[in-house]
Amino acid sequence: MFSEERREQILEKLKKEGRLLAKELANEYNLSLDSIRRDLSIMEDQGLLKRTHGGAIPIPNVRTMPQPPYKRYGEGTLFQNAIAKSAATIIKEGQTVFIGGAAIHFVMLKYLPMDISFSVITNSVEVAYNLREVDNIQLYLIGGEVKSSGNMTDALANEFACQFTIDLCFATGGGLSQRGLSTATPEVSIFHKTVYDNSKEVIGLIEHSKFGVDLFSKMYPLHKLDKIITDEETTNDNIDIIRAQGIEVIIAGINEALS
């Protein structure tokens, strides 16, 4: 079993039982106590749980563990495709564009315009690999410690991101509420805040299921987003809340993604 799969199982077990003991986990997985403690420390750093003496307890509002690359990077849902296709039409000739390492960013790659030249900045090894031979895109990969997801969000990556001025930034997160974008991991929040602050235009790519969700770490205030692209399942109440902040909302239809 891969360590990511084990940690995913541990998180599911924690959700069901409400409390875990490191000693019991060590016995269950036939691992040393130090190995289990290391797992719990990594998961705490990701904002997925809180370590206690001898084990772990849940953190409120943490929903899922970050998906491993083989699950994250695929064809995407109909909603993700609709949003991604709409987002790609906004890119203009000569722009510098930030595309991160979320699932919806990967879906967006197949819709990027091929008839104009532009630059892409990314912190995702997976995104960079898939764009490396695209002739009309000048590609920049932000450096840093590579996580199991293939993304880089550490202090080195944050310092690297400070060097860029970005024309168009496609932002996303684990949730969006009146507090703004949020995610499970503070490190991820800090990195993306740097990228967003250095961007002339920030466009949120938000599926309907993420509205009203507050995760552990606040990423970016709602009022600083310039536009939000969402899908047709988003409720009118949620759309009205966003528009009341003076933010443009674009509704991406599923039928458009199928065409």
pLDDT in tens, the chain (259 residues): 778 889 889 988 888 888 899 999 999 999 999 999 999 988 887 778 888 888 998 875 554 555 665 566 778 889 999 999 999 999 999 999 999 999 999 999 999 999 999 999 999 999 999 999 999 999 999 999 999 889 999 999 999 999 999 999 999 998 999 999 999 889 999 999 999 999 999 999 999 989 988 888 899 999 999 999 999 999 999 999 999 999 999 999 888 766 6
pLDDT score recorded for residue 100 = 97
**Strand-pair category, 180-183 with 217-220:** antiparallel
Instruction: Locate the domains of the chain by residue range.
Output: 3-58, 70-258
What is this structure's pTM? Answer: 0.75
pLDDT score recorded for residue 64 = 52
Closest alpha carbon to 151 in 101, 83, 202: 101
pLDDT score recorded for residue 65 = 52
CATH number of 70-258: 3.40.50.1360
pLDDT score recorded for residue 8 = 87
pLDDT score recorded for residue 49 = 84
pLDDT score recorded for residue 52 = 84
127-171: pLDDT as tens digits? 999 999 999 999 999 999 999 889 999 999 999 999 999 999 999
Which CATH fold topology does 3-58 show? Arc Repressor Mutant, subunit A (1.10.10)
d(CA 13, CA 206): 29
Instruction: Give whole-number Cα distances, 177 to 87, 195, 211, 222, 223, in Å.
Output: 21, 20, 6, 8, 11
- 11 membership: H or E segment, kind and range: helix 3-17
Q: Which segments of 73-197 does DSSP mark as H helices, in order?
A: 78-88, 103-108, 125-131, 155-161, 186-197
| Residue 180 DSSP one-character state | E
Q: Is 213 helix (H, G, I), strand (E, B) or coil?
A: coil
pLDDT score recorded for residue 60 = 57
Closest alpha carbon to 230 in 216, 210, 202: 210
Closest alpha carbon to 72 in 107, 45, 42, 109: 107
